[in-house]
């Protein structure tokens, strides 16, 4: 690892390989692997992550929105891409860029068929999403006949897969609920397959589903957070490697007197003679304002330095009164030792949010042997 000279998000592609292989080791050899790279590959860099995973022969990608899929095509990605949450206004672009929509209600199904027919498509692959308890997106079981009727009436599209999403796959207390979701999904899939003359793939599990429900991997799994190094449990976190390290440097050190204040609105007041360090990273970079006022911290020379006062747009000030350090020294926000999941816990959020908040302003650099 190189020493930071400015704010940088270092992305370790070797760690990505490790996580991919670890998650794959949990699957049967025939189970396909879909890598979820929405939200800039969980705040890292979707093009670089996708290129790397494509080299590793990942079977599928998923993004949330159409624009994210277009960006991958623009970067030269040729692997199939499932768009989890397309809008009807994007359907022409979807077909134009060879993206595959998730169709989750009658309106989007009808509209996609209409556009695929207008464009004389034959067997264009789509993915039918079912709601089995998350109550977010998806058809329900009683819609199966309607969907089958629509599919039989057109040759413009085929249901490449049927899928659903687990609501609490990381929570062992929700075993019963999750098993209910699994059996609902199975019964929808059976009814659907019985009524159509081909066999769509089935997929249900996200990362925690893969790790906790080996009986529910079906034909493909959809992993996001695990690829980026987090397994939603202390045990799994030990087997995975965070791929992203967010680093910065100390721009300036101040010695302040008792009762002097730090930052906007004078939100921090020194209780004694104290030392502060100013770091070039702020809420516009993804250090959320709620990390301020000593909720969040950074690591300097192996020690925790609390963020004091309000987080500014481009800077934070931290308390280094008891830390031996100098201007120009490296600052770690998170890395593979000081994990984003720990910072998340202390500010009351989850690793997903910490990672995806890192803004596009932060320079990316890559480690690859």
* 207 lies in the site for ligand PLP, by CB under 6 A: yes
- Looking only at the bridges linking them, the beta strands covering 261-262 and 244-249 are unpaired
Give the residue, chosen from 37, 84, 332, 347, that forms a contact with ligand PLP under the rule CB under 6 A. 84
* 332 lies in the site for ligand PLP, by CB under 6 A: no
104 counts as catalytic: no
Lookup: tokens for 40: 């800039």
352 counts as catalytic: no
Element (H, E) at 156: none
* Binding piece for ligand PLP, criterion CB under 6 A, among 6-14, 25-33, 216-224, 300-308: 216-224
Using the structure block, give the residue that is written with the tokens 């464009």. Answer: 119
Environment class of residue 321 by beta-carbon count within 10 Å: exposed (0-12), middle (13-18) or buried (19+)?
middle
Bridge partners for 334 per DSSP: 246
Q: How far is the CB of 120 from ligand PLP (least distance, A)?
A: 30
Residue in 107, 122, 152, 264 annotated catalytic: 264
Q: Which is nearer to ligand PLP, 284 or 350 (CB)?
A: 350
Give the residue, chosen from 7, 161, 181, 206, that forms a contact with ligand PLP under the rule CB under 6 A. 206
CB 164 within 8 A of CB 201: no
Subset of 148-177 contacting ligand PLP (CB under 6 A): 165
Tell me the backbone φ, ψ of residue 347, rounded to 5 degrees. -105, 5
Q: How far is the CB of 170 from ligand PLP (least distance, A)?
A: 8
Residue 131 CB coordination number (10 Å) = 20
Number of residues that bind ligand PLP (CB under 6 A): 11
DSSP state string for 217-255: -TTEEEESTTTTT--SSHHHHHHS---EEEEEE--EEEE
* 36 lies in the site for ligand PLP, by CB under 6 A: yes
- CA 258: distance to chain centroid? 44
Residue in 26, 38, 129, 150 annotated catalytic: 38
* Binding piece for ligand PLP, criterion CB under 6 A, among 111-119, 174-182, 200-208, 289-297: 200-208
Residues in the site for ligand PLP, rule: CB under 6 A? 36, 84, 165, 206-208, 222-226
Catalytic residue numbers read 38, 264
């Amino acid at each position: 690892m190189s020493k930071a000279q400015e704010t940088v998000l270092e992305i370790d592609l070797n760690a990505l390989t490790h996580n991919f292989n670890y998650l794959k080791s949990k699957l049967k050899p025939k189970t396909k692997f879909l890598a979820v790279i929405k939200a800039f590959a969980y705040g890292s860099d979707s093009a670089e992550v996708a290129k790397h995973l494509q080299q590793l022969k990942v079977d599928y990608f998923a993004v949330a929105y159409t624009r994210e899929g277009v960006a991958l095509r623009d970067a030269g990605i040729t692997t199939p891409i499932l768009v989890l949450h397309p809008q009807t206004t994007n359907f022409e672009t979807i077909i134009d860029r060879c993206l595959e929509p998730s169709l989750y209600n009658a309106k989007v199904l009808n509209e996609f068929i209409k556009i695929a027919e207008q464009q004389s498509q034959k067997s264009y692959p789509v993915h039918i999403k079912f709601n089995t308890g998350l109550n977010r997106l998806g058809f329900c079981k009683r819609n199966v006949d309607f969907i089958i009727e629509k599919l039989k009436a057109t040759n413009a599209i085929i249901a490449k897969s049927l899928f659903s999403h687990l609501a609490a796959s990381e929570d062992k207390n929700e075993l019963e609920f999750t098993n209910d979701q699994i059996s609902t999904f199975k019964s929808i899939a059976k009814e659907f397959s019985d009524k159509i003359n081909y066999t769509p793939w089935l997929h249900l599990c996200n990362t925690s589903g893969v790790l906790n429900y080996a009986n529910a991997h079906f034909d493909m799994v959809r992993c996001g957070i695990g690829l980026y190094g987090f397994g939603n449990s202390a045990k799994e976190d030990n087997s995975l490697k965070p791929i992203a390290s967010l680093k910065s440097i100390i721009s300036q050190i101040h010695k302040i007197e008792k009762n002097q204040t730090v930052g906007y609105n004078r939100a921090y007041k020194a209780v004694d003679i104290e030392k502060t360090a100013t770091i070039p990273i702020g809420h516009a970079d993804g250090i959320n304002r709620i990390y301020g006022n000593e909720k969040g911290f950074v690591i300097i020379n192996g020690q925790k330095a609390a963020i004091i006062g309000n987080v500014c747009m481009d800077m934070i000030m931290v308390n280094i009164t008891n830390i031996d350090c100098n201007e120009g020294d490296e600052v770690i926000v998170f890395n593979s030792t000081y994990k984003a999941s720990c910072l998340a816990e202390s500010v009351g959020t989850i690793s997903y949010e910490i990672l995806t908040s890192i803004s596009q302003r932060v320079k990316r650099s890559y480690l690859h042997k």
